Chains A and B, each alone.
Chain A
């Protein structure tokens, strides 16, 4: 029996590390979600719960995508959380105090994100400074700038913006029947559409463009990538630039979701983004990772938080410990699988 199985597996082309980790992530997410539906029931049986997870996490998905790209090249960006707060505050001030329109707020968000990406990328790529240190400085700068722009929280009143914020996109044929027997269709916010488009576009870039493959090559072995004729500096620069741009987009999506500016916005978002990337199968050592995995990483992280709160363990420390356990389990599973696989070959 056993010999027969061996022969069969040998005939299949071995899976790449990236695809293997992606498969694990997706399987774990579905197992977890289905288990929640079966054993907890309640809210998990309603379709809208799933879409609410998306609504709540659209910004995080976008931020995590940028994080994954930087991590694939072997770097890290811990500025994105505070950067999101800065973008929210700037956009809010622009809309309510400077008579800006939704368009100017979007452009402002993108410009801020891009500016951070360019400066941080240049420092990392062309001056060979550790990405952790560069983005640590970026984090403090963004934090300081947020309070300079405006030091207190306020809700945006701009009508066009509020209308956009409250726009619901209904999903055809999906929804649930409420207690009174009325069918309530499921909906998503605009941010979710942006996030899904970003995931698809980035997946395409990482899989099929030369730039995307260069990210993997540089993360796998920068010296080799250089010898193979890849411009390592340019690639690293573009990874940070892309991450900054995505922080700009993600920042606006966050803003669109909360509808206010506050220095405390998106606190710890960078850590959630890193956690999601890791759960999604991106390795901190670089060279391995997948955007689809990151997407499911965010969903898994958020689902586990929901499960914890539905179980009545709604204290912050329960959530934190669960998330910690989850990251640990994922890292251990990933290491075991990769070690085994590499030993066999």
Chain B
């Protein structure tokens, strides 16, 4: 082990369902550094972290930790915690039925008894110092997802850890929360803690990290100091190929499409989740987007279109005809497809195979009395696995063993198979690597080129600017502007979101 390193992993191997998730991966974390672990989806970042924290057992390899003689073996998250490795996972791994304070202290406090008074007091102190808007006595389940994530971070930070792992902690945080988190990370770094930071946001990597380790397809590409690795090189190393010129993917004639025939029109559409009624129309063959900050109502809006939230009023017209959409099945029958924001909750059926997940929507459309033959299903699945380049061992593999990006592609395949006239994609690129992002963007433009309408929602504005020909801007649950053509610039979108006033 080198002198200044706190953690070394040597020659790690891990295989799932005959997919080689990690092959001979080395990783070194030094004292007081923020080390980005980068790679596409399925590159093995999460697997490496779960091996380190004892969630998965490794097939081969050694782990060394500062203060321990020889290789150590961590068999459970409990042991990892005791060894000084604390982790914040992408998914919330807290108990919703316990209080905020309990979630911060359970599993790591000493003694047999719980001192509620002391625990609540110190939890409140930490919450306050980190500016987390939650009370110690509050039940965790009553907090928003972002606050829950911050609580998880607060827990990890409060532990006397040598290694802090942040596995995509920023995906549910807004800008000011991210800024808070970064201040915290720099503070910990100054105290000599080694931080492993996994994220898809390149800006964030270049803002706080000292060093980058790149993985690709379960193998180590290399370890670099941040100043020696410009962004373009990082991206090409992650992808293993030169990056397509992103600005080229949008065709030039989108101006002509605006003003063409209206396929979908909502008049005063309201739902239980939405704060104000929506009013908008969707044109044939366009890619439009709903943009706005987190919580601006963009997801609620599209959920109302699809009937995913209970619709409480308003009129909806498709191709000029009045229709009623009460539940997702109604929407599907009218040729609307919806890729939900939270794929874990609303999208995938984890234990079903990739094939079954792909044909699921089609099966619902056909009705359960017209079963799709296995051969036909197999054909569809093969076709889309090839078309979308889904990385899976076979069509029979359970979808939960696929990486996030590949799960997303499977759900996309599911909707494409139903041949929808209007496809809603809510954050289809969240938590997905750049290569897949570009593929999805290209696919969206291709669908629009075929005369289909697509609504594309993303929290990354530049991604929406690249893909959409019209943007509906939302703020605080209301539509506040519509941008198209030459107005589609970053600054214009920003100022519309901010309401024109600074």
Residues of A within 8 A of B (CB): 13-18, 207-214, 216-217, 219-221, 223-231, 287-288, 341-342, 345
Are B81 and A229 in contact (CB-based, < 8 A)?
Answer: yes
A99 to B350, CA, bound (A): 60
A-B contact pairs, 26 of them (CB 8 A): A13-B135, A14-B142, A16-B139, A209-B114, A210-B109, A212-B114, A213-B114, A214-B107, A216-B98, A217-B95, A217-B107, A220-B96, A220-B97, A221-B97, A224-B92, A226-B55, A227-B93, A228-B77, A228-B106, A229-B82, A229-B107, A231-B78, A287-B97, A341-B142, A342-B142, A345-B143
Are B77 and A227 in contact (CB-based, < 8 A)?
Answer: yes
A228 to B82, CA, bound (A): 11
Contact of B93 among A15, A18, A228 (CB under 8 A): A228
Are B96 and A209 in contact (CB-based, < 8 A)?
Answer: no
Are A14 and B139 in contact (CB-based, < 8 A)?
Answer: yes
Contact of A208 among B96, B106, B114, B139 (CB under 8 A): B114
| B114 cross-chain contacts in A, Cβ below 8 A | 207-210, 212-213
B138 at the interface (CB under 8 A from A): yes
- B interface majority secondary structure: loop
B111 at the interface (CB under 8 A from A): yes
Q: Nearest Cβ distance between residue B337 and chain A, in whole angstroms?
A: 27
Chain A residue with the shortest CB-CB distance to B89: A227
Q: Nearest Cβ distance between residue B437 and chain A, in whole angstroms?
A: 29
| B155 cross-chain contacts in A, Cβ below 8 A | 228
Are A221 and B108 in contact (CB-based, < 8 A)?
Answer: no
Q: A13-B138, A221-B93 are in contact. List 10 more A-B contacts (CB 8 A).
A: A16-B99, A209-B114, A210-B106, A213-B114, A214-B106, A221-B96, A224-B95, A226-B77, A287-B95, A342-B141
Are B139 and A226 in contact (CB-based, < 8 A)?
Answer: no
Are B137 and A216 in contact (CB-based, < 8 A)?
Answer: no
Are B142 and A220 in contact (CB-based, < 8 A)?
Answer: no
What per-residue 1/0 map shows which CB atoms of B79-113 lie under 8 Å from chain A? Answer: 00110000101001111111100110011110111
Chain A residue with the shortest CB-CB distance to B82: A229
Chain A residue with the shortest CB-CB distance to B77: A227
B280 at the interface (CB under 8 A from A): no
Chain A residue with the shortest CB-CB distance to B110: A210
Are B97 and A229 in contact (CB-based, < 8 A)?
Answer: no
B116 at the interface (CB under 8 A from A): yes
A262 to B155, CA, bound (A): 54
Q: Nearest Cβ distance between residue B128 and chain A, in whole angstroms?
A: 15
Contact of B106 among A16, A207, A230, A345 (CB under 8 A): A230
Q: Nearest Cβ distance between residue B45 and chain A, in whole angstroms?
A: 17
A227 to B79, CA, bound (A): 10
A224 to B138, CA, bound (A): 18
B57 at the interface (CB under 8 A from A): no
Contact of A210 among B78, B113, B116, B143 (CB under 8 A): B113
B353 at the interface (CB under 8 A from A): no
| B76 cross-chain contacts in A, Cβ below 8 A | 226, 231
Q: Nearest Cβ distance between residue A70 and chain B, in whole angstroms?
A: 16
Are A217 and B98 in contact (CB-based, < 8 A)?
Answer: yes
What per-residue 1/0 map shows which CB atoms of B137-159 lie under 8 Å from chain A? Answer: 11101110000000000010000
Are A227 and B97 in contact (CB-based, < 8 A)?
Answer: no
Q: Nearest Cβ distance between residue A342 and chain B, in whole angstroms?
A: 7
| A18 cross-chain contacts in B, Cβ below 8 A | 97
Given the interface pairs A228-B77, A228-B94, the reply to whether A14 lies near B112 with Cβ below 8 Å is no
Chain A residue with the shortest CB-CB distance to B109: A210
Q: Nearest Cβ distance between residue A320 and chain B, in whole angstroms?
A: 32
A345 to B138, CA, bound (A): 11
| A210 cross-chain contacts in B, Cβ below 8 A | 106, 109, 111-114
Interface set, chain B 305-330, CB cutoff 8 A to A: none
| B109 cross-chain contacts in A, Cβ below 8 A | 210
Q: Which 6 A-B pairs have the closest CB atoms?
A: A229-B107, A220-B95, A220-B97, A287-B97, A227-B93, A345-B142
| B111 cross-chain contacts in A, Cβ below 8 A | 210
Q: Nearest Cβ distance between residue A51 and chain B, in whole angstroms?
A: 33
Q: Nearest Cβ distance between residue B52 and chain A, in whole angstroms?
A: 13
Q: Nearest Cβ distance between residue A68 and chain B, in whole angstroms?
A: 14
| B102 cross-chain contacts in A, Cβ below 8 A | 213, 217
Q: Nearest Cβ distance between residue A11 and chain B, in whole angstroms?
A: 11
What per-residue 1/0 map shows which CB atoms of B55-89 lie under 8 Å from chain A? Answer: 10000000000000000000011100110000101
Are B94 and A224 in contact (CB-based, < 8 A)?
Answer: yes
Chain B residue with the shortest CB-CB distance to A225: B95
Are A14 and B138 in contact (CB-based, < 8 A)?
Answer: yes
Are A208 and B116 in contact (CB-based, < 8 A)?
Answer: yes
Are A213 and B98 in contact (CB-based, < 8 A)?
Answer: yes
A341 to B97, CA, bound (A): 13
A252 to B492, CA, bound (A): 78
Interface set, chain B 5-46, CB cutoff 8 A to A: none
| B142 cross-chain contacts in A, Cβ below 8 A | 14, 341-342, 345
| B87 cross-chain contacts in A, Cβ below 8 A | 227
Chain B residue with the shortest CB-CB distance to A283: B97
Are A208 and B97 in contact (CB-based, < 8 A)?
Answer: no
Are B93 and A223 in contact (CB-based, < 8 A)?
Answer: yes
| B94 cross-chain contacts in A, Cβ below 8 A | 221, 224, 228
Q: Nearest Cβ distance between residue A22 and chain B, in whole angstroms?
A: 14
Contact of A229 among B77, B99, B113, B139 (CB under 8 A): B77
A212 to B103, CA, bound (A): 14
| B113 cross-chain contacts in A, Cβ below 8 A | 208-210
Q: Nearest Cβ distance between residue B198 and chain A, in whole angstroms?
A: 16
Chain B residue with the shortest CB-CB distance to A221: B95
Given the interface pairs A209-B113, A213-B106, A214-B106, the reply to whether A227 lies near B96 with Cβ below 8 Å is no
A213 to B103, CA, bound (A): 10
| A228 cross-chain contacts in B, Cβ below 8 A | 77, 93-95, 103, 106-108, 155
A288 to B139, CA, bound (A): 12
Q: Nearest Cβ distance between residue A88 and chain B, in whole angstroms?
A: 34
| B138 cross-chain contacts in A, Cβ below 8 A | 13-14
Q: Nearest Cβ distance between residue A262 and chain B, in whole angstroms?
A: 41
Chain B residue with the shortest CB-CB distance to A14: B142
Which one of B112, B116, B143 has the highest number of Cβ atoms from chain A below 10 Å of its Cβ? Answer: B112
| A212 cross-chain contacts in B, Cβ below 8 A | 114
